[in-house]
Chains A and B, each alone.
Chain A
Amino acid sequence: MIDALEAVDVTKVYNQGKLSEVFPVIDVSLKIQGGSMVVLKGPSGSGKTTLLAMLGCHVKPNRGEVILNGKKVSKLPEKFMNAHKRDHIGFIFQQFQLIPDLCVMDNIMLPLLPMGIGRSRQIRLAEKQLEFLDLLHRKQFKVRNLSGGEQQRVAIARALVNHPNIILADEPTAHLDSRLTDFFLKRMKQLKESGHTIVMASHDPLVYDNPDIDQVVEMKDGRIVS
């Protein structure tokens, strides 16, 4: 089986040549098998978010290559990279990144709008995710009126609505209590069992010590240490 996601010697530099130059990720190579659940762990500032962003096609590496389902995507022009991102990746942001003035449904349907999907099908797809995440009763609520745990589930629903086969989650449990963390991990396990590939950045032991995790990658100062 080909690897779902692969990083080959990727390096990211910010503020290159300036006094504030940083290398959040240096020469990292990583293979993530299709259908596995992987956790990136490491202290704050070790480069987890940056690596995840490169794997998720949000950020282009300065050096190295990101390979998505066997395709070198990181050197593609933005428009094409974006298309791969849309088709394959669901990203759950640490701070959710929802539009607070829109209702739950509208937030979840957002990724579907430019795809030319009709309204009724958008609604069906979104409701299916809300049901999966046990949040259907909040579908007409404005996001700004939801609790942190509810907002987080909206963010997950939005990441899943387009049926991506790879799910990337940045500190997904940072705002959750242990019960909701448990619920979240159960759902991730379900997705994994249905063939999804899952990569999470986390320093929550509940996450990286979970028995369903296939691989834990530890980072320090922009490099993989184990």
Chain B
Amino acid sequence: MEWLEKQKNLIDFSIQSLIRRFSKNALILIIFVSLVFAVASVLFLTGSLTSEMMSSSEELPDITVQRILGGRQVNIPASYQDRIETLSGVDAVEGRLWGYYYLSELQANFTVFGMDLGQLEEGEYQKIINWNASLPKQNNQDFRMIIGQGVYQMLKKLHSEGSYLFFQPSWDVPLPFEVIGHFKAETSLQSNDLLVIQTEGARMVLEIPEDEFTDMAVHVPNPEEVETIALKIRRMFPELRTVTKAQIQRTYHSVFSWKSGFVLTTLLASLFAFLILIWDKASGLSAEEKREIGILKAIGWDTDVILKVKLWEGLILSGSSCFLGILLSYAYIYWLEAPVLRNIFIGWSTIYPSFELKPEVDLKYVMLIVTFSVVPYSAVTIFPAWKAAITDADTIMRNTG
């Protein structure tokens, strides 16, 4: 009870002291909060994006097969499909159609993906698309498409969100496409600049002959077999390149950790500056603070009690800064959707993906931030206090008020 009362008294005194030296502490608080905010934002964003990428990459094919000739990726003849399917362990091989289309009005490249839109009209996929209800029944099923959120927003500005006319100078006639729906914003990370076009229409837009595909997706049910099957495919067709899901995930991982590493290094420089500042602020106890420590000692406070008070001061100041910084970065990333920083991470593209970041605070990162802010700060503040507290109490009696 008495012990508790004592701790309470000391903490009260620490808080009172912090408030008393408001301007000095406010400065440290502001700098501290900004730094924690910056570091926490980078860490949280990296974590959030990595897990977002990881979960979306789960839907990638187990093996993607590309045909490389002369160092370039070229179309794969449809005949390869059956031969790969004969390999044991392979469940299915799916020929894929995709490419890019340059929309001159928007001065931007979009990803065109060909598939049977019928697949999207049923099951789970149905829910991620805003279907265009007002559409009259299409006469030509081949000229239908579903577009990404970013494309939709841009076409809307051109009042062309219901239908779009594809044209290339080499074509005889333009190809009129009906927009039957657009992807919801949640899927933007994957679908933002996407035009999903009915297979036959996609072949026309991408100019891919009837018996060829852009690449192929190989489904392998047993993850253990993926590497050996990839090897077999490369043996069977030396001009084929295989990319496994694991390889892509590793790439995502390293890209984000590289980027966060880069940003963190820049932050480290400012962290260093901050440490110098607090070292200066904290180690050079003001004459007033030194005198106060002398007074406390002279009226019978033990050295360890004085250090406890100073430690509390450091912990309260750095702890609340840390808390505030983390809170701000949480708000910045998950409410404001990380302006500026997201562009560094996702890249500056013509259309910024407007996906929502899922709130996800990794305790590991919080611990990391706390250990690298609260701990060194408190240590740095306690040292000069200790130096002042071990000097003889009699010096105080020689100080004139």
A interface vs B, CB < 8 Å?
49-50, 53, 58-59, 78-79, 82, 85-86, 91, 93-99, 101-102, 106, 110-119, 122, 158, 170
Contact = CB atoms under 8 A, between A and B. Distances in A.
Interface in B215-236: none
Interface of B: 1-6, 9-10, 13, 16, 20, 292, 294-296, 298-305, 392-394, 396-397, 399-401
19 contacts: A49-B397, A53-B397, A59-B392, A59-B393, A59-B394, A78-B302, A79-B302, A93-B298, A95-B397, A96-B401, A97-B295, A99-B295, A101-B20, A112-B9, A113-B9, A114-B9, A114-B302, A116-B9, A117-B9
A39 to B, nearest CB: 18
A122 B10 CA distance: 13
Contact of B394 (A58, A82, A116): A58
Contacts of B4: 116
A85 B393 CA distance: 12
A110 B299 contact: yes
Given A113-B13, A116-B5, A116-B9, A97 B298 contact: yes
Nearest to A159: B299
Interface-centre pick from A86, A116, A117 (highest chain B CB count, 10 A): A116
B300 A82 contact: yes
Nearest to A97: B295
Contacts, number: 83
Interface-centre pick from B9, B294, B299, B401 (highest chain A CB count, 10 A): B299
A86 B300 contact: yes
Given A59-B392, A116-B5, A116-B9, A111 B397 contact: no
Given A78-B303, A116-B3, A58 B20 contact: no
Task: Please provide the 5 A-B residue pairs with the shortest distance between their CB atoms, ordered closest to farther.
Answer: A116-B2, A116-B6, A86-B300, A95-B401, A113-B9
Contact of B6 (A96, A99, A114): A114
A97 B396 CA distance: 8
Nearest to A50: B394
Contacts of A117: 5, 9
Contacts of A118: 5
Contact of B305 (A95, A102, A114): A114
Contacts of B1: 116
A129 B397 CA distance: 23
Contacts of B396: 93, 97
A94 B20 contact: no
B6 A91 contact: no
Contacts of B305: 114
Given A58-B394, A111-B299, 9 more contacts: A78-B303, A79-B302, A79-B304, A82-B302, A97-B299, A101-B20, A110-B296, A110-B299, A113-B6
B295 A98 contact: yes
Contacts of A50: 394
Interface-centre pick from A50, A53, A158 (highest chain B CB count, 10 A): A53
B141 to A, nearest CB: 81
Given A58-B298, A116-B2, A94 B9 contact: no
A59 B400 CA distance: 18
Contacts of B3: 116
Given A99-B295, A158-B299, A58 B397 contact: yes
Nearest to A93: B397
